[in-house]
C-alpha cells in the first residue's frame, strides 16, 4: 500500500513509551511504505531511538514537547492544563489538517476529552463511541461502545448502531452487516428501558440495515452478528473479560503441555497449529480502538502494549483514513436524516 498518508503520533503515551512507539512505527512503515509521521514528544529521548531506524527517521517530522499527560490524570484537568502536551499537539495536527489521523497509547479519558474538544463530533452524533474488532468463530465483528460512555440512552445506542454498521460495511467490507444489542437475554421484554427502546426503533426503522435483535454475552465469540452495540460500562467489562479469558486459556494450555514429557512432545508435533492459533487470537493483532463519531480519525492503542501492538494500532488508523470512514458516516447520516425521521438525530456540537 503506497498511499501518502500522514499520521500524528503521541510518542509519550503508553507504559513502554517512547521506545515501543518508535519501534512500532518502524514495523508499520514496512507494510505501509509512503506513510509519513508527525511525532510529538521529548526530543532528548526520541532522537537516540530514531537514529536506530534510518528509514523511519526519513519519514518522521519530530516536534519537541516537554509536557506529557500522565495515565492517572483526570480528563478535565488534562483538557485544561495539557495544551502543550504530546497528546494534545498530536490531536491538534489532525484538527489543523496537517495529519490525516492520530494514534496514542496514552490516558483514554484524556484522549477522548481532548479529541472531542478539538475535532468535534460528526453531524448527527451526540457522543463518540470507542469501537474495536474482536475475533469470532465466523471471522471478525465490531463492538461498541467499549468505555467512552458509561450511561447511554436509546438515542445513543441507535447512533452507535448506525456508526457500527457503516464501519462494518466500509472496513470489514460486509455488504449488509447484521446488528445486535447486547442484553441479559434475547426476549423482547428483557433489559432496561434504553435497550428496549433502541431495539424498538431499530426494528421499526426503514434504514437499510439488518437488525438481528438482542444478543447475549456468548454471542460475541460465536459471531452471531457483525456489530454488537452496548453502553460503555457493559462493553468495557465484556472486552476485559474476553481478553482475560484468552490469557487464561493460553496460559493454562502452556502449563499443561509443559507438565510432562509426552505433553512436550505433543506440543512440538502440534507447534504449527499452536502457532497459528496463537497468532489468530493474539490481542496485539486487535489493538487499536477507534473513536467513532469524531470529526477526525483518532485511534487509541492499549497502554500496556508492545511495539507489535502499536504497529497494529497505526495500521488501524491508516485503514480508517484509506477507507474514508468518516465520509461514509457523514453521507449515511445525511441520507438517513433526510429520508427517515424515525431515528432521533442530535445536532453536532458547535
Phi, psi values for residue 99, rounded to 5°: -125, 155
**What's the pLDDT at 83?**
93
CB–CB of 297/326 below 8 Å? yes
Question: For residue 306, how many other CB atoms are within 10 A of its CB?
Answer: 17
Q: What is the pLDDT along the chain (350 residues), one digit of tens a residue?
A: 446 899 999 999 999 999 999 999 999 999 999 999 999 999 999 999 999 999 999 999 999 999 999 988 998 999 999 999 999 999 999 999 999 999 999 999 999 999 999 999 988 788 899 998 888 888 889 999 998 888 899 989 988 998 898 889 888 888 889 999 999 988 888 889 999 999 998 888 776 778 999 999 999 989 999 999 999 999 989 888 887 887 787 778 778 778 888 777 877 777 777 666 666 666 677 777 889 989 999 999 988 899 999 999 999 999 899 888 777 777 766 665 655 554 444 433 43
3-state secondary structure of 292: strand
Is pTM beyond 0.85? Reply is no
> Which domains does the chain possess?
1-122+293-331 (3.40.718.10), 126-286 (3.40.718.10)
Residues 6+ apart with CB under 8 A from 108: 130, 147, 300, 303
C-alpha cell at 348: 453536532
Amino acid at each position: 500500500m503506497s498511499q501518502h498518508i500522514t499520521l500524528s503520533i503521541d510518542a509519550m503515551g503508553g507504559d513502554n513509551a517512547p521506545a515501543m512507539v518508535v519501534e512500532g512505527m518502524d514495523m508499520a512503515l514496512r507494510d505501509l511504505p509512503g506513510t509519513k509521521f508527525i511525532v510529538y514528544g521529548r526530543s532528548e529521548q526520541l532522537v537516540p531511538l530514531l537514529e536506530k531506524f534510518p528509514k523511519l527517521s526519513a519519514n518522521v517530522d519530530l516536534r519537541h514537547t516537554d509536557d506529557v499527560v500522565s495515565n492517572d490524570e483526570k480528563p478535565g484537568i488534562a483538557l485544561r492544563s495539557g495544551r502543550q502536551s504530546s497528546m494534545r499537539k498530536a490531536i491538534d495536527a489532525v484538527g489543523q489538517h496537517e495529519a490525516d489521523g492520530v494514534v496514542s497509547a496514552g490516558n483514554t479519558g484524556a484522549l477522548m476529552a481532548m479529541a472531542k474538544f478539538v475535532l468535534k463530533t460528526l453531524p448527527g452524533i451526540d457522543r463518540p463511541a470507542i469501537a474495536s474488532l474482536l475475533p469470532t468463530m465466523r471471522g471478525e465483528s465490531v463492538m461498541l461502545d467499549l468505555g467512552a460512555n458509561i450511561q447511554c440512552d436509546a438515542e445513543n445506542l441507535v447512533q452507535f448502531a448506525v456508526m457500527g454498521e457503516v464501519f462494518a460495511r466500509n472496513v470489514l467490507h460486509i455488504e449488509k452487516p447484521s446488528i445486535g444489542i447486547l442484553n441479559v437475554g434475547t426476549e423482547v421484554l428483557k433489559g432496561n428501558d434504553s435497550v428496549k427502546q433502541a431495539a424498538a426503533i431499530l426494528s421499526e426503522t426503514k434504514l437499510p440495515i439488518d437488525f438481528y435483535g438482542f444478543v447475549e454475552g456468548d454471542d460475541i465469540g460465536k459471531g452471531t452478528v457483525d456489530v454488537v452495540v452496548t453502553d460503555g460500562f457493559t462493553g468495557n467489562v465484556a472486552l476485559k473479560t474476553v481478553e482475560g479469558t484468552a490469557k487464561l486459556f493460553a496460559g493454562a494450555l502452556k502449563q499443561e503441555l509443559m507438565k510432562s514429557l509426552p505433553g512436550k512432545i505433543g506440543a512440538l508435533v502440534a507447534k504449527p497449529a499452536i502457532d497459528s492459533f496463537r497468532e489468530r487470537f493474539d490481542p496485539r493483532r486487535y489493538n487499536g480502538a477507534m473513536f467513532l463519531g469524531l470529526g477526525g480519525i483518532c485511534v487509541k492503542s492499549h497502554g500496556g502494549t508492545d511495539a507489535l501492538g502499536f504497529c497494529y494500532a497505526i495500521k488501524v488508523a491508516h485503514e480508517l483514513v484509506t477507507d474514508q470512514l468518516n465520509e461514509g458516516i457523514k453521507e449515511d447520516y445525511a441520507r438517513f436524516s433526510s429520508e427517515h425521521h424515525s431515528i432521533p438525530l442530535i445536532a453536532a456540537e458547535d
